[in-house]
Amino acid sequence: MVFLALAAVGCLLVALSLVLLRITPWDVLRDPSSPLVQLLDVRAEGSLHTWFNVCVLSSGAVLHGCAGALAHRAGWEAWPWALTAAALALLSMDDLLAVHERLEPLGRALGAGQGGLHFAWVLPGLLLAVGLAATAVVAARKLPSSASRWLLVGVAALLAAAVGLESVGGLVLDSVGDGALYVLVSHAEELIETLAAAALLCAAVSAVRLGAGPGAGFEVGYAHPVRRAS
């Protein structure tokens, strides 16, 4: 339910950007410098979509930290959750501040800037992508099975969008320019990144178990991983 709710909001934001800004006849939605366009266009930095992604990733970081606390209280290893919480916090910071785009000069210095590397930051960003993938694999080995699945799917989708579709978008820009095809590719990228963020948040949600507590209350517990901490 959590994933579906977040996915629905993400789809709505992408649909508004894809349809409202490109089909409606109103001039205010045709001017790229319009504050309303910058707010709704998912490709713009500082848009409503960016804010939503930052909220999901930041909330995910907090929830991963809470899952780690529950794991520790239950006698299980907490460090994998600390690792993933830190990763999500860094991802949210990058989404907010567009830190990855500051790697553009480095990428161009390394020879990128055309074709699949039209966005030159992708080249040095591959090292960060490998680091994120390695972090996910290491942590997933110690997490509950459901949390591991959400984590690995989320990271895989995030990298497929941020690196894979970003490269495809670069190829499209170089070959046919900023037309309808590039708009579709870039919006698909943004939507998949949102779905990935939702999956990463759900990794922590799936590790939390609610049970009946004393009286009419309830207790929050930890869903046991496959192996007990050594």
Would you list the domain boundaries of the chain? 2-222
Among the listed residues 224, 227, 229, the one whose alpha carbon sits nearest the alpha carbon of residue 207? 224
Q: What letter does residue 230 receive in the DSSP assignment?
A: -
**Spatial CB neighbours of 42, under 8 Å, sequence gap ≥ 6:** 13, 14, 17, 49, 50, 186, 187, 190, 191
pTM for the full predicted model = 0.89
Continuous segment of H or E residues that includes residue 209: strand 208-212
Contact 81, 89 (CB under 8 A): no
Distance (Å, whole) CA 58 – CA 201: 9
pLDDT (tens, 9 = 90+) of the chain, 230 residues, equals: 899 999 999 999 999 888 876 666 666 566 666 777 778 888 887 899 999 999 999 999 999 999 999 999 888 899 999 999 999 999 999 999 888 888 999 999 988 888 888 899 999 999 999 999 999 999 999 999 999 999 999 999 999 999 999 999 999 998 888 888 998 999 999 999 999 999 999 999 999 987 655 655 667 788 865 444 44
Distance (Å, whole) CA 201 – CA 134: 18
